[in-house]
Every structure is written in structure tokens, then in C-alpha cells.
């Protein structure tokens, strides 16, 4: 077993990077700015430069490195091909090949949600499980699917895009994906706020939420934990919408556990308890023992998962 590996998690704003020992201990982590409209792939040059810099700093030889594992915010095929990455301005490119050409190390690439799920399975909230769905509730809603310890990415890397399951056919607002009535229009951080603002406008029900000029999902969740009736109603509606979708996902995938991550997960067990309650109402009887857990690695899940990608490649 080689001693070191790099984990890389590419986001729309920053690229998180980590140098790890291959037993899972992190030696150093850091960030660099991401890029938009990066048709020339200069971000990959920046990442390669950072890896070389860290190798020089710690005096690490290439033969001591297992490789680089990368999470990409877009659909990724089994061979490392990214089927366009809108946030970065990438067309269809093979990132594994491009990175290997830049730094001469083995490279393994996966969708960022799937890679984060792998990280939680290895060193986070899903330790001890081999089949799971990690649901990330942030600006959008995404999911990483792991079955028998292996990422399920689908034919074109689109597996786990649960945020774009249609939950309301009457919706007139367009989702960012171009469809209407997608899950993330109601059950993302932005979705919770949008639903709550609409309710506040049509209702005269008293609530501490009326005091906020710029309402956030955190405001709603915090108020719910303090017992605000309207906020509790909004969180219950969020849980009903997402819980129903997870019940349908469980009917297809039958995971051992749903791991809830992203900004909304910071509210803690109020979220998982409500989700479990709604899930139980809608789920098929054979899937009702599915567990719910909170993610533990936070923003580091992607870099941990990147390292696990590389280690799985070696095994």
C-alpha cells in the first residue's frame, strides 16, 4: 500500500483539496479559487500545480502516492468522462486523462455527490454501512448512491439527481434545470424559503419569521427548534415533500441508511426525525427499517471520498 493520496472536491466557488495518508488520516487540507467559463481547463492546471507544490513541501515522491481522487459537480461516466459541467463552463471532457497528463499520477473521478457519499461511508456518518443514499440539501437537492460499497453513477452519470424528480405538476415557476415542479424548488434551502415566503404573504398567522427582511433556511429551522408554530409547519411541509420522495427512492434502491448532509442538516435531529416520520408514512413495508443519520464530515466529505475512490481503484 502506498503511503499518500490526494482528495480534490471541485465546487463552483472553491476547490477543496486534501493530502491524506492512505489509512484515512488527513495531513493537510486547503482551498483554491474555482473558475467559471473555464473552457481551456486552466483550473486543472491550477490543481496540478497545487499537488506538485504540496509534494515538494512534504518531500513526497510520485511513487509514494496512490493517486488523486476528484469529485466533479456534473455527470461523470465510468471512464472519467465529464458530460458537461455548466458551473465551470466545461464541455464533454475526460478529466481523468487530462489530469494524468498534467501530473503523471493515477486519477479517479466521480460526481461530487457520489464521492461525498463514499467519504461518509468510509469515515463519516455512514460508517458500518455498505448500501446508502447520501442526500445533500443545500442550494439544491442532490444524492449520492452507494450499493454494496460501490458508487452507482448510471449510464450518463445522472443517477442520484433526485432534486429534479417532479413533485408538483401545477408549478409555473421554472427550475434551474428547465423543468417545472422539481423537488429542489420546495425541499432545498432556497425552496424552504420560497415556500415560507409565499405562506407568509397569504397568511396572517403570527411568527418570529416576519421580523426578517432577508429570510433564510437557517432562520426557519432555528425558529422551528424554538417552537414557532409557523416555522414548524414549514419544516413539516419540507419533510413531507422530501420524505415522500425518499420513500420512492427506497422502493427502487432499498438502502440501509439515508445520510442527510448539506446546510439544512446543521439543524440536527429535528430534520432527521421529521423526515423519518414522513418516510414511514409513505414507504413500502419492506423498506421501513431504513435508518436515517446525519452526515459527519461536513464540507470535507468530498476530499475523503476522493481518497476512497483512489484506494478502491488499487484494491
Same structural domain, 99 and 160: no
Which residues have C-beta within 8 Å of that of residue 226, sequence separation ≥ 6?
A: 208
**Residue 144, phi then psi, degrees to nearest 5:** -110, 135
Tens of pLDDT, residue by residue over 86-126, are 778 899 999 999 999 999 999 999 988 899 999 999 999 99
Same structural domain, 33 and 81: yes
Which residues have C-beta within 8 Å of that of residue 155, sequence separation ≥ 6?
A: none
Please report, rounded to a whole number, the percentage of residues in the chain having pLDDT higher than 70: 100
As a whole number, the mean pLDDT across the chain is: 93
* Burial of 286 (C-beta count, 10 Å sphere; 0-12/13-18/19+): exposed
Same structural domain, 304 and 259: no
pLDDT at residue 74 greater than cutoff 90? no
Same structural domain, 142 and 261: yes
Same structural domain, 147 and 178: yes
Tens of pLDDT, residue by residue over 257-274, are 999 998 888 888 899 999
Same structural domain, 70 and 134: no
pTM: 0.88
Specify the CATH number for the domain of residue 106: 3.30.420.40
Same structural domain, 164 and 286: yes
- The C-alpha atoms of residue 226 and residue 224 are separated, in whole angstroms, by 5
- The C-alpha atoms of residue 45 and residue 205 are separated, in whole angstroms, by 55
Same structural domain, 168 and 289: yes
Tens of pLDDT, residue by residue over 177-210, are 889 999 999 999 999 999 999 999 999 999 999 9
Same structural domain, 36 and 89: yes
Per residue, the 3-state secondary structure of 111-141, as one string, reads EHHHHHHHHHHHHCCCCCCCCEEEEEECCCE
Structural domain tally of the chain? 2
Same structural domain, 72 and 185: no
Same structural domain, 10 and 71: yes
User: Residue 287's closest CA among 260, 262, 315, 258?
Assistant: 258
| DSSP count for the chain of H helices, then E strands | 9, 12
Specify whether the CB–CB gap between 238 and 186 falls below 8 A.
Answer: yes
- The C-alpha atoms of residue 94 and residue 99 are separated, in whole angstroms, by 9
Domain that holds residue 234: 128-296
Specify whether the CB–CB gap between 274 and 87 falls below 8 A.
Answer: no
Same structural domain, 148 and 180: yes
Amino acid at each position: 500500500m502506498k503511503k499518500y493520496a490526494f482528495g480534490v472536491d471541485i465546487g463552483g466557488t472553491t476547490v477543496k483539496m486534501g493530502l491524506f495518508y492512505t489509512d484515512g488520516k488527513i495531513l493537510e487540507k486547503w482551498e483554491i479559487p474555482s473558475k467559471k467559463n473555464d473552457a481551456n481547463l486552466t483550473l486543472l492546471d491550477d490543481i496540478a500545480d497545487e499537488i506538485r507544490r504540496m509534494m515538494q513541501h512534504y518531500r513526497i515522491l510520485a511513487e509514494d502516492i496512490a493517486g488523486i481522487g476528484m469529485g466533479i459537480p456534473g455527470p461523470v461516466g465510468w471512464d472519467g468522462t465529464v458530460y458537461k459541467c455548466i458551473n465551470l463552463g466545461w464541455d464533454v471532457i475526460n478529466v481523468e486523462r487530462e489530469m494524468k497528463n498534467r501530473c503523471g499520477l493515477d486519477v479517479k473521478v466521480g460526481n461530487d455527490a457520489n464521492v461525498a457519499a463514499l467519504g461518509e461511508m468510509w469515515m463519516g456518518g455512514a460508517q458500518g454501512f455498505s448500501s446508502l443514499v447520501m442526500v445533500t440539501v443545500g442550494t439544491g437537492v442532490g444524492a449520492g448512491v452507494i450499493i454494496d460499497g460501490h458508487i452507482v453513477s448510471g449510464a450518463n452519470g445522472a443517477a442520484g439527481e433526485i432534486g429534479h424528480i417532479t413533485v408538483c405538476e401545477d408549478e409555473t415557476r421554472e427550475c434551474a434545470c428547465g423543468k417545472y415542479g422539481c423537488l429542489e424548488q420546495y425541499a432545498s434551502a432556497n425552496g424552504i424559503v420560497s415556500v415560507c415566503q409565499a405562506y407568509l404573504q397569504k397568511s396572517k398567522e403570527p411568527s418570529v419569521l416576519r421580523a426578517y427582511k432577508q429570510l433564510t433556511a437557517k432562520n426557519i429551522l432555528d425558529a422551528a427548534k424554538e417552537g414557532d408554530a409557523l416555522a414548524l409547519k414549514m419544516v413539516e411541509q419540507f419533510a413531507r415533500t422530501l420524505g415522500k420522495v425518499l420513500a420512492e427512492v427506497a422502493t427502487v434502491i432499498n438502502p440501509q441508511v439515508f445520510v442527510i448532509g448539506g446546510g439544512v442538516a446543521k439543524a440536527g435531529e429535528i430534520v432527521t426525525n421529521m423526515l423519518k416520520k414522513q418516510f414511514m408514512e409513505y414507504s413500502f413495508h419492506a423498506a421501513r427499517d431504513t435508518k436515517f443519520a446525519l452526515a459527519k464530515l461536513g464540507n470535507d466529505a468530498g476530499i475523503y471520498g476522493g481518497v476512497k475512490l483512489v484506494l478502491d481503484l488499487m484494491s
